[in-house]
Amino acid sequence: MSHQISRRLFLKGGLAAAGTLAASSIPAAASITDGTGHLATLLDISKCIACGACVEACSETNQSKYPEPEKPFPKMVPSRAKNVDWSEKRDVDDRLTPYNWLYIQSTYVEHNGEEHEVNIPRRCMHCTNPPCVKLCPFGAAEQLKNGIALINDNLCLGGAKCKTVCPWKIPERQSGLGIYLDILPKFAGNGVMYKCDRCYDRIAQGEQPACIEACPEDVQTIGPRDDIIRQAHALAKEMNGYIYGEKENGGTNTIYVSPVPFDKLNKAIEKGKGKPHLKPVKDHMADGNNLAAALAIAPIAGIAAAVGKFYKMTK
């Protein structure tokens, strides 16, 4: 039997393989989520009194989504990978954990000769182009059409790449549950990552996220991103204040307005594990996406080189 493959067969086979994938329903299922489709939240932190109603409401509403790990946990190999267990510390509410997706950062800051008590509800920023979703190596996270970044606990292996690439290190791991237990529990994965899903299920039913509904001070407002940005600028102008979240990481769907500059707030707040900063954040996905132009140009250069050689040889 001849192992020679004709060009026609080669092209047919290669193009068929590429075509099958490219023409599959994946591009058809893709959607444009920019701008109008995204829902954003505006947080007027001058109103927040740190009553904790939002934190409590978040916890009550999301109880059914919280992890219920199996114990004992698998012994991790190599030992550098550590099991993470928050299941015995479910009541911790002064930082983000797999059982606490929202907490309040409180601080005192002096600004314009006045001391301000500032309370900042902190949770996932729901970036407009979320690295946690786009860079998950297993596609275990999804950005919904309304902009919510969501981790699927049935698919997440708990490798925590989402946390590593998140500019605010928001997702938190719980070991002892998830798909990794069915694959190579000692050697790959380490649980499931958890973070705010902005009550996607309530929003789908036309309700508001629990934290917004429970707030007695109306700190948060939710709406189409363009409207929220307009409101944020109007509010900032009115209070001679500052905005955070509009441009950070290329834009987020969580817009804070504060009477105190965010660099002062960032210096004043307690930061660290489970306690995100308020620094300026560059667009983390931009460098890669800017390089995409090279991916379009490179084949053209390759074809030009081949055609150039062809003319040289046939002259």
Partner 1 sequence: MKANEDQSGPNRKTLMWYLYLISMVLLAFTGFGQMPIYKRYYISDIPGLAWSADFYTTHLIHYIFSALFLGIAAYVVFDHLLLKKKRFALTLSGFIRSAIIAGLVATGLLLVIYNFSGVAFPMWAAATLLVAHMTLAMALIAAGFIALIGRKPWVRAIN
Site residues (CB under 8 A) for partner 1, limited to 264-283: none
Q: In the set 92, 204, 234, 303, which binds partner 1 (CB under 8 A)?
A: 303
Q: Which is nearer to partner 1, 159 or 176 (CB)?
A: 159
Hey, which residues between 92 and 131 contact partner 1 (CB under 8 A)?
128-129
61-90 residues in contact with partner 1 (CB under 8 A) are: 78, 80-81
Q: Closest separation between CB of residue 235 and partner 1, Å?
A: 25
**Which of the ranges 5-13, 56-64, 66-74, 204-212 carries the binding residues for partner 1, by CB under 8 A?**
5-13
Can you tell me which of 59, 105, 143, 253 binds partner 1, judged by CB under 8 A? 143
Site for partner 1 in 162-191 (CB under 8 A): 164-165, 188
Options 122, 161, 173, 277; binder of partner 1; rule CB under 8 A: 161
First to last CA, the chain: 38
Under the criterion CB under 8 A, does residue 288 sit at the interface with partner 1?
yes
Burial of 245: CB neighbours in 10 Å, binned 0-12, 13-18, 19+: buried
Query: Quick one: which segment of 56-64, 89-97, 112-120, 134-142 binds partner 1 (CB under 8 A)?
Result: 134-142
For 191-201, give one letter per residue: b (16+ CB within 10 A) or e.
Answer: bbbbbbbbbbe
Written as six digits, the tokens of 115 are: 């001391």
The single residue among 145, 230, 237, 247 that binds partner 1, judged by CB under 8 A, is 145
Beta bridge partners of 272: 275
CA dihedral (291, 294, 296, 299) positive or negative: negative
Q: Which residues are CB-neighbours of 304 under 8 A, at least 6 positions away? A: none
Q: How far is the CB of 197 from partner 1 (least distance, A)?
A: 13
Strand order in the sheet with 254-258: 220-224, 39-44, 254-258, 242-244
Q: How far apart are CA 307 and CA 299, in angstroms?
A: 12
Residue choice 117, 230, 273, 289 for contact with partner 1 (CB under 8 A):
289
Q: What residues between 26 and 45 interact with partner 1 by CB under 8 A? A: 26-27, 29-35
Q: How far apart are CB 106 and partner 1 at their closest, in Å?
A: 32
Amino acid at 282: K
> Judged by CB under 8 A, how many residues of this single chain contact partner 1?
76
Within 8 A by CB and 6+ apart from 198, the residues are 41, 123, 124, 126, 148, 209
According to CB under 8 A, which one of 116, 225, 264, 284 is a site residue for partner 1? Answer: 284
Residue type, 133: V
Contact set for partner 1, span 203-262 (CB under 8 A): 250-251
208 backbone dihedrals φ, ψ, rounded to 5°: -95, 155
Alpha-carbon dihedral 199, 42, 228, 274, rounded to 10 degrees = -60
Nearer to partner 1, 239 or 298 (CB): 298
The CB-of-198 to partner 1 minimum distance in angstroms stands at 15
The residue within the footprint of partner 1, chosen from 135, 224, 235, 275 (CB under 8 A), is 135
Q: What are phi and psi of 122, to 5 degrees?
A: -120, 135
Note whether 222 and 9 are within 8 A (CB): no
